[in-house]
Structure 1
Amino acid sequence: MWKNLLAFVKKWCTLPIIAAFVIGAGVTIGSQAVISYTNTEAFCISCHEMRDTVYAEYQDTIHDRNRTGKRAICADCHVPHEFIPKMIRKIKATKELYYKMTGKIDTPEKFEEHRYELALNEWRRLKANDSAECRYCHDVNAMDPERQTEEAQDRHKRGFAEGKTCIDCHFAIAHFEPDGELSPEDL
């Protein structure tokens, strides 16, 4: 009896287990490919709303062109690097697709109308995570104050003492500062 049961299980359970494994691997690899692609610069600027506004102003900034040749692309600053926060950000970013489909930001003029609101969202996110995306590339402990101006040395010292985070002061480093009442420091 046990021999017959074992033969039955081998015959009818092996195929579903193999199929489940293949499907699971396919879904995992496929979703990782999609996540990776949506983190590329080509994807980020594939719509004119980004290419003609924030990407255009990013070009030739220190994050685009510099003496070391190290570039920060859109996802480096706007998408967390850790898995769970990255997935949460990707889900929240779907509202940007909704904005595109509904025409909320489909012209430079409409984008400018909403620039401040969009910037506030990013500033709040970066303040909440202590500018984690900045710190992914910029290690405060590796900063060489001797290579900074006296003003920068003083501001960094005061900012660290006051518990500020990168975005409090460096919020217009890659994009134009939007008109509005608040800066990240005020949030």
Structure 2
Amino acid sequence: MKIKDRAREWWRTLSRPSRHLSLGFLTLGGFIGGILFWGGFNTALEATNTEEFCVSCHEMRDNTFAELRATIHYSNRSGVRATCPDCHVPHEWTHKIARKMQASKEVWGKIFGRIDTREKFLAHRLELAKHEWARLEANDSLECRNCHAYRFMDWTRQILRAVQVHSVALEGNEYTCIDCHKGIAHRLPDMEGIPMLFGAPLERDVGRNSFRRESFMSE
């Protein structure tokens, strides 16, 4: 009986706390609770925003991450490299949250094994790539521009073709990085019927430790 009475008392307190607890206590409790919630939420958010988390699934580890390791964005003379979230998760908090919510669909695909084999991954590769290309086109290649700034490019260290294309493509607002640099970190899907600006991805001609020529061909 005492247990039931205590349970009822607790329920009355929880359901109408203002009748049983002081305003100061509620304010302090809410403040502390908010800090604990925010700390836990932010910790969980950052834990899912690491390369280790991304490649913990074999779908990513055995496919896209394996390809990234062959590029200049993974290994280069300066040791500066891009990780999965650097390119695929917006840095601004509001956009990051929106992307995390969108990723719930990817979790659903993981649970039901949509791309749990190499064959399934290749079958969906073009669809997956188009989604990411569209995202980068919509935000003007924001993740690229977090590291690369047009106004700080040293034209003397670029080949002539790169200088010509960059001077045309980046000075105005008509083009964005992903329009030409679709194959910069992962192999391209079958590009038949998909137009490429200025003839081809720059990496095919530049050859600066991005994929070797054959890597741009579909498997």
TM-score, with length taken from structure 1 = 0.89
Name 2:189's counterpart in structure 1: 178
Query: What does 1:1-187 correspond to in 2, within 5 Å?
Result: 12-160=22-170, 163-180=174-191, 181-182=193-194
CA contact (8 A) 1:171 1:184 kept: no
1:23 Cα deviation from its structure 2 partner: 1.2
3-state SS of paired residue (2:146): helix
* In structure 2, C-alpha distance between the alignment counterparts of 1:35 and 1:150, rounded to whole Å: 43
Instruction: Give the aligned residue type for 1:165.
Output: T
| Structure with greater Cα Rg | 2
1:65 Cα deviation from its structure 2 partner: 0.5
1:175 partner letter: H
Shift of the 183–174 alpha-carbon distance from structure 1 to 2, 3 Å rule, reads farther
1:62-103 superposed Cα distances (whole Å, 9 cap, x missing partner): 110111111100000000011111111110011111111111
Residue identity opposite 1:140 in structure 2? Y
Per-residue Cα deviation, 1:133-170 (whole angstroms, up to 9, x for no partner): 00001111110011000111111112225621000111
Aligned residues: 177
Q: Which has the higher contact order (CA 8 A, sep 6+)?
A: 1
CA shift for structure 1 position 60: 2.8
SS at match of 1:100: helix
Residues 172-181 or 155-164, more deviating: 155-164
Question: Which segments of 5 or more consecutive residues in structure 1 lack a partner in the other structure?
Answer: 1-7
**Does structure 2 conserve the Cα–Cα contact (< 8 Å) formed by 1:59 and 1:65?**
yes
TM-score for the superposition, normalised by structure 2:
0.77
The runs of 4+ residues in structure 1 deviating greater than 6 Å are: none
Distance verdict in 2 for CA 1:183–1:123, change over 3 Å: farther
- Is this contact kept in 1: 2:150–2:170, CA < 8 A? no
RMSD between aligned alpha carbons? 1.7
Which region of structure 1 is more displaced relative to structure 2, 156-165 or 92-101? Answer: 156-165
- Give aligned-pair identity as a percent: 47
1:179 counterpart letter in structure 2? D
**Are the aligned partners of 2:169 and 2:175 in contact in 1 as well (CA < 8 Å)?**
yes
More helix as a share of residues: 1
Q: CA deviation at 1:111?
A: 1.0
Structure 2 contact 90–96 (Cα < 8 Å) conserved: yes
